[in-house]
Amino acid sequence: MIKRREFIRALNAGMALGLVSKSAVAGWFLPPAETALQDELAYHTIRSVDFRDIRMQYPRFVGKNARLDVHGFGPRIEVCTLTTDKGATGWASLLGGRGAAQRLVPELVGKKLSEVFQVTAGLTDDRFLPFDIALHDLAGIVLNKPVYALLGRDKPFTTKYYTGMIYFDDLEPAHAPGGIDKVLRECRQDYEFGYRQFKLKIGRGHRWMSLKDGLARDIEVTKAVAQAFPDCDILVDGNNGFTFHEFTQYLTGIGDTPLFWIEEPFHETVEDYRKLRNWMKDANVKSLLADGEADPDPVLLDELMRQQLMDVHISDIEGLGFTNWRKLMPGLIRYNVQASPHAWGSLLKSYYTAHLAGGLGNTVTIEGVTSTSDDVDLSGYTIKDGNLIPSDAPGFGMKLLR
């Protein structure tokens, strides 16, 4: 399986200018307004880097998916805070573990912010990828701009917002399973929160039920949610838990139930995705195909996009990195492929994605991970008509409370 580092190398290799070479020649091409922004960043020198954990709390217990056991009530997240000699502070989730980030601190401290971050591109050196999102936040704080404005939009694009929290909770608790009614109650809770899209986990027959019973339950849940919420879109995510044959049985079983998208029904190959496209065309099944989350292989994903076998790229916002998502987006537009970075696990990732989408567009929907926190002020973001509205405060618009 390809690792994140290889993905980033492949992404950089496909560009006319890599991160480092962009930095080396940036001053030659920046227009006056952007040169002024870089000059403002140059007034600030990174003085300190601090690490801590924060807690995000889900509103309910989240159960299994096709491959993984229960997900619980929410994660503890490692974050870093960057402070400059002028007193500006930015923070965000760490990309990767704290150990790797701590080893880079001596290289980061003492550098001018303009040396490591360029407004028009993001990071100037992908060695500092663990601090990528925090540097975007810090730059926004220094320049008094929300991150989406750093990406070029005074008024952000807004897009649909789906709940990614509908798991196999019909199977929980093990001693007294709640059944489909429990899934419907959770959908109602998310509907009242403001979502108008539901992503349903499917693939119960991969680990947790017999193939026959799991397939029947997947079909029943999908049809029940679609019937109960006719004004909402249904997305389904198989977490690679099906074979091609099993998944077409599922599609046959749900009949004319419309699907907004299909995510990772089985491990992607050109051959199987072409078979799926052809089957869907013959069966008049209209749905977007989303892939790229699990062990993303950039060469294979590029081929799927080139052959128009994939509609939405969903690599993780942190796993790939904010800067690399900025670099990837123009290529997606050329392929007529939309973005929807994977954000499961942390509401912070949903909000980072809102700024990426807000600044660059070309994002079909955003994954929601409903959460509260005593450690972070999350109040700057709102849901309106099923769309996620990013904070217009500087940076990502979230403050640490403790």
Q: Is the pLDDT of residue 70 over 60?
A: yes
What lies within 8 Å, CB to CB, of 301 at 6+ separation is 268, 291, 292, 310, 313
Pick from 29-43, 163-177, 376-390: least confident:
29-43
Pick from 1-10, 18-27, 150-159, 379-388: least confident:
18-27
Residue 212 CA to residue 12 CA, distance in Å, equals 45
Q: How confident is the model at residue 402, as a pLDDT?
A: 78
Q: What is the pLDDT of residues 255-307, one digit of tens each?
A: 999 999 999 999 999 999 999 999 999 999 999 999 999 888 999 999 999 99
Q: How confident is the model at residue 14, as a pLDDT?
A: 54
User: Encoding tokens for residue 39?
Assistant: 């000059």
Task: Give domain 4-50+77-144's CATH number out of 3.30.70, 1.10.3470, 1.10.10, 3.30.390.
Answer: 3.30.390
19 with 44: CB under 8 angstroms?
no
Q: pTM for the complete prediction? A: 0.93
258 with 288: CB under 8 angstroms?
no
- Name which of 79, 85, 61 is nearest 71 in CA terms: 61
Domain residue spans of the chain: 4-50+77-144, 159-400
Axis crossing angle, helix 132-143 with helix 32-42, rounded to the nearest 10: 100
Given the structure tokens 């299994």, which residue do they identify?
A: 64
Q: Is the pLDDT of residue 20 over 80?
A: no
How far CA 121 is from CA of 5, 21, 139, 374, in Å, comes to 19, 11, 12, 33
Distance of CA 356 to the CA centre of its chain: 10
Q: Is the pLDDT of residue 25 over 70?
A: no
Cis peptide before 173 (omega within 30 of 0): yes
pLDDT band at residue 34 using 50, 70 and 90 as cut-offs: confident
Q: What is the pLDDT of residues 204-228, one digit of tens each?
A: 999 999 999 999 999 999 999 999 9
Q: How confident is the model at residue 140, as a pLDDT?
A: 98
94 with 51: CB under 8 angstroms?
yes
Task: Give domain 159-400's CATH number out of 3.90.330.10, 3.40.50.720, 3.20.20.120, 3.20.20.70.
Answer: 3.20.20.120
Please name the amino acid found at residue 25.
V
397: left (phi over 0), alpha (psi -120 to 50) or beta: left
Q: What is the pLDDT of residues 313-359, one digit of tens each?
A: 999 999 999 999 999 999 999 999 999 999 999 999 999 999 999 99
Same fold, 4-50+77-144 and 159-400: no
What percentage of the chain has pLDDT greater than the value 70? 93
Tell me how crowded residue 176 is: count the other CB atoms within 10 A of its CB: 7
Q: How confident is the model at residue 287, as a pLDDT?
A: 98
Q: How confident is the model at residue 30, as a pLDDT?
A: 63
